[in-house]
Amino acid sequence: MALERTFSIVKPDAVAKNLIGAIYQRFEAAGLRIVASKMLHLSKEQAEGFYAEHKERPFFGALVAFMTSGPVMVQVLEGEDAVRKNREIMGATNPKDALAGTLRADYADSIDENAVHGSDAAESAAREIAYFFTDAEVCSRTR
């Protein structure tokens, strides 16, 4: 299994609840390395562009309003099987369906305010990383 990168967001609800460190701890405990990270307050345009695949969905307006409601942490995670591993750590989109011990089971309040984002495939990971980070901002950690 090759080293892989995925894109992750600590969403505004989790930042507001002071859970950045607790969430980063879960990534690191699972063997994922944080190779880029920054705090941002997304503009409406940035949030709409990021979630463009959902623009026809009924919840799109609510999703954009939530994602711009406060600061987020955006990060790139690197490790073996990083895309799948991060989705496993996150749990299901709806916290009611998320397995015990996952981030969404432990920290999310609802399907709209669900604590974290994670890329769903290698292709979306590459697109999402490039949406927020330049190549020079991502520091591969091989030592």
Active site residues: 117
Which residues within the stretch 104-133 sit at the binding site for ligand GDP (CB under 6 A)?
111-112, 114, 117, 120
Which residues within the stretch 84-103 sit at the binding site for ligand GDP (CB under 6 A)?
93
Q: Rounded to whole angstroms, what are the CA distances from 76 to 93, 133, 135? A: 20, 9, 11
Terminal CA-to-CA distance of the chain, rounded, Å? 18
Which residues within the stretch 25-64 sit at the binding site for Mg ion (CB under 5 A)?
none
104 annotated binding-site participant:
yes
Question: Burial code of 100-134, b = ≥16 C-beta within 10 A, e = fewer?
Answer: eebbbbbbbeeeebbbbbbbeeeeebeebbeebbe
Detail the residues annotated as belonging to a binding site. 11, 59, 87, 93, 104, 114
- Contact residues for Mg ion, defined by CB under 5 A: 120
- Contact residues for ligand GDP, defined by CB under 6 A: 54, 59, 62-63, 93, 111-112, 114, 117, 120
Detail the residues annotated as belonging to a binding site for ATP. 11, 59, 87, 93, 104, 114
